[in-house]
């Protein structure tokens, strides 16, 4: 697949002519800092070279025609800007539609419909943010193509501090609109990590993001002779969304209890020491373990970034292993598939650390593996996984890439199928 193939596929489906433009948004892998983002904590994701591509052209009417090369059987899915009813759509188009809906909700009135072709090479439902990728992708397309450049919206944040023109919308604003779409249109109460990482990623860097105020630093991924290896469990993430929302509300309950002892706005305002001083206010063991995970994970994330800056890959990996154990035992979002991948990784030579990444309940692990041990790692983990789980895992050596951007549809840029 390359950019020209995409353009040809678009023309095949929707015909020639007009101003046809192309866009890309990556997937992301989170290195550490899991379930901290809706608790005002730190996360440390990076963008991938795998991602989602969009080719789009304006229409003269308000129709939206969407076609995905990944779901060819679905054909062209037709709708209109006037019929974005929440909760009705349950296929891939709910992500772009959700973002269009969110633009209008925020006051950025869309002036026309679009013909849209999409292609992605992020394995679906793998926890590498294929949905956030599609949301941010739609956001950058709308910002770029909407001709009513002077329209004013209320900005992407919920606290409204004056109106902003669509021109002034930053990538971070687009990430926030994507999150708003996911929360209010799709119905998953996710934090900001995925959309932010997808929008703001930088080649060969990870983003150390403080989700409390969205301040961030790019940290070079100097891994020496190590690489990031992603293992996809290929487990279907059924019920993941409802369990995700359940974890979020458990954290809110724990916070409410802790707030009776200390004036805090979110769980991650507590240090580990603060937490241990007042944790007896949480009598329920489940809520206690949820809060413990979040607060210790936040501390681990800060320490992991320091370790990486000091080129201490061993320490970084140790913190990843601790993160996995905490997600397994205290936050309970792993499952036998992810545990098998992470535990077997721990037995392999040349592995600094391994953990589940993203929301869990299936999806992927991320491991830091020495270059010359990658083949044996894949063989060993892959065969134990197949034997124990009954189907195979897929492995990817991660390329760390840039955030969402426009692409030149005439360029011969090749990417994986
Ligand atoms: C999903 C969500 C993120 C974050 C992670 C867990 O990827 O979309 O906001 O909460 O799970 O860290």
pLDDT for the residue 150:
58
Which residue did the predictor score with more confidence, 340 or 410? 340
Most confident option among 123-132, 144-153, 175-184: 175-184
CA–CA dist 124, 133 (Å, integer)? 11
Neighbours of 114 (CB within 10 A): 24
Q: Look at residue 160 and tell me whether its pLDDT is greater than 90.
A: no
| The predicted structure's pLDDT at residue 159 | 34
Taking only the tens place, the pLDDT of each residue in 233-290 is 999 776 567 899 999 999 999 999 999 999 999 999 999 999 999 999 999 999 999 9
Using pLDDT thresholds of 50, 70 and 90, give the confidence band for residue 161.
very low
Confidence of residue 412 (pLDDT cuts 50, 70, 90): confident
| Shortest-distance atom of ligand 1 to CA 33 | 12
Pick from 363, 328, 321, 361: which is nearest to 345 by CA?
321
Q: Show the tokens assigned to 167.
A: 């021109």
Cα-atom radius of gyration of the chain, to the nearest Å? 21
pLDDT over 90 percentage in the chain: 83
- d(CA 132, CA 99) in angstroms, rounded, equals 10
Q: What is the pLDDT of residues 85-98, one digit of tens each?
A: 666 677 899 999 99
Q: What is the DSSP string of 285-329?
A: HHHHHHHHHHHHHHHHHHHHHHHHHTT-HHHHHHHHHHHHHHHHH
Token pair 């119905």: residue: 187
- Tell me the best of 187, 359, 362, 363 to mutate to test the pocket of ligand 1, counting ligand atoms within 8 Å of each CB and taking the most: 359
Tell me if 93 sits within 8 A of 79, measured CB to CB.
yes
List the residue whose alpha carbon is closest to atom 1 of ligand 1.
Answer: 359
Look at ligand 1, atom 8, and give the residue with the nearest C-alpha.
190
pLDDT at 151: 59
Q: Which of 48, 194, 300 to mutate to test the pocket of ligand 1 (most atoms within 8 A of CB)?
A: 194
**What is residue 88's predicted lDDT score, i.e. its pLDDT?**
67
DSSP 264: -
In this prediction, residue 123 carries a pLDDT of 84
Model confidence at 81: pLDDT above 80: yes
Span 66-74, average pLDDT: 96
Q: Is 29 helix (H, G, I), strand (E, B) or coil?
A: strand
The residues assigned a catalytic role are: 194
Kindly state the average pLDDT of the residues 191-205. 98
Residue nearest to atom 9 of ligand 1 (CA): 191
Nearest ligand 1 atom, CA 35: 12
Which numbered atom of ligand 1 lies nearest the CA of 36? 12
Interval 25-41: pLDDT, tens:
999 999 999 999 999 99
| Residue 211 pLDDT | 98
Rounded to the nearest angstrom, the distance between the alpha carbon of 193 and the centre of ligand 1 is: 6
- CA 10 to ligand 1 centroid distance, Å: 32
Q: Provide the pLDDT for residue 216.
A: 98
Each residue of 249-264: b (16+ CB within 10 Å) or e? ebbbebbebbeeeeee
User: Is 195 exposed, middle or buried, given 0-12, 13-18 or 19+ CB atoms closer than 10 A?
Assistant: buried
Is pLDDT above 70 for 79?
yes
Q: Which structural domains are found in the chain, ordered by start? A: 3-221+400-407 (3.30.230.10), 226-397 (3.30.70.890)
CA 75 / ligand 1 centre spacing (Å): 30
Ligand 1: list residues with CB < 6 Å.
34-35, 37-38, 190-191, 193-194, 358-359
Rounded mean pLDDT, 127-140 = 96
> Which residue has 């397309």 as its token pair?
141
The 3-state secondary structure of 6-20, one letter per residue: HHHHHHHHHCCCCCC
By most ligand atoms within 8 Å of CB, the mutation choice from 190, 242, 245, 320 for ligand 1 is 190
* Residue 374 contacts residue 398 (beta carbons within 8 Å): no
Give tens-digit pLDDT for 389-406: 999 999 999 999 999 999
Asked whether residue 107 carries a pLDDT value surpassing 90, the answer given is no
> What pLDDT is recorded for position 86?
65
């Amino acid at each position: 697949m390359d950019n020209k193939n995409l353009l040809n596929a678009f023309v095949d489906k929707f015909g020639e002519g007009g101003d046809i433009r192309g866009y890309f948004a990556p997937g992301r892998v989170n290195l550490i800092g899991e379930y901290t983002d809706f608790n005002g904590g730190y996360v440390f994701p990076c963008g991938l070279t795998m991602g989602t591509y969009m080719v789009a052209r304006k229409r003269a009417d308000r129709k939206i025609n969407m076609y995905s090369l990944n779901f060819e059987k679905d054909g062209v899915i037709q709708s209109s800007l006037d019929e974005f009813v929440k909760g009705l759509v349950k296929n891939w188009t709910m992500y772009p539609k959700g973002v269009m809906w969110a633009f209008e909700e925020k006051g950025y009135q869309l002036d026309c419909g679009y013909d849209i072709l999409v292609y992605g090479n992020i394995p679906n439902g793998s926890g590498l943010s294929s949905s956030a990728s599609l949301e941010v992708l739609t956001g950058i397309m709308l910002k770029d193509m909407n001709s009513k450049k002077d329209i004013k919206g209320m900005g992407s944040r919920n606290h409204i501090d004056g109106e902003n023109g669509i021109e002034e919308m930053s990538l971070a604003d687009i990430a926030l609109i994507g999150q708003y779409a996911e929360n209010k249109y799709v119905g998953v109460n996710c934090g900001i990590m995925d959309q932010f990482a997808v929008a703001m990623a930088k080649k060969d860097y990870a983003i150390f993001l403080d989700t409390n105020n969205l301040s961030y630093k790019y940290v070079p991924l100097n891994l020496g002779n190590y690489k990031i290896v992603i293992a996809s469990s290929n487990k279907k993430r059924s019920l993941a969304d409802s369990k995700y929302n359940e974890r979020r509300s458990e954290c809110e309950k724990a916070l409410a209890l802790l707030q009776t002892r200390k004036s805090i706005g979110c769980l991650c305002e507590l240090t580990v020491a603060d937490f241990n001083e007042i944790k007896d206010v949480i009598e329920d063991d489940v809520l206690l373990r949820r809060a413990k995970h979040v607060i210790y994970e936040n501390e681990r994330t800060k320490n992991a970034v320091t370790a990486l800056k000091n080129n201490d890959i061993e320490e970084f990996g140790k913190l990843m292993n601790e993160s996995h154990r905490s997600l397994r035992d205290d936050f309970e979002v792993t499952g036998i598939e992810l545990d098998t991948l992470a535990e077997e990784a721990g037995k392999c030579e040349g592995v600094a650390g391994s953990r589940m990444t993203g929301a869990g309940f299936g999806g992927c692990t991320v491991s830091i593996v020495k270059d010359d041990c990658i083949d044996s790692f894949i063989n060993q983990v892959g065969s134990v996984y197949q034997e124990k789980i009954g189907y195979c895992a897929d492995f990817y050596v991660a390329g760390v890439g840039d955030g969402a951007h426009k692409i030149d549809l005439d360029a011969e840029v090749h990417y994986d199928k």
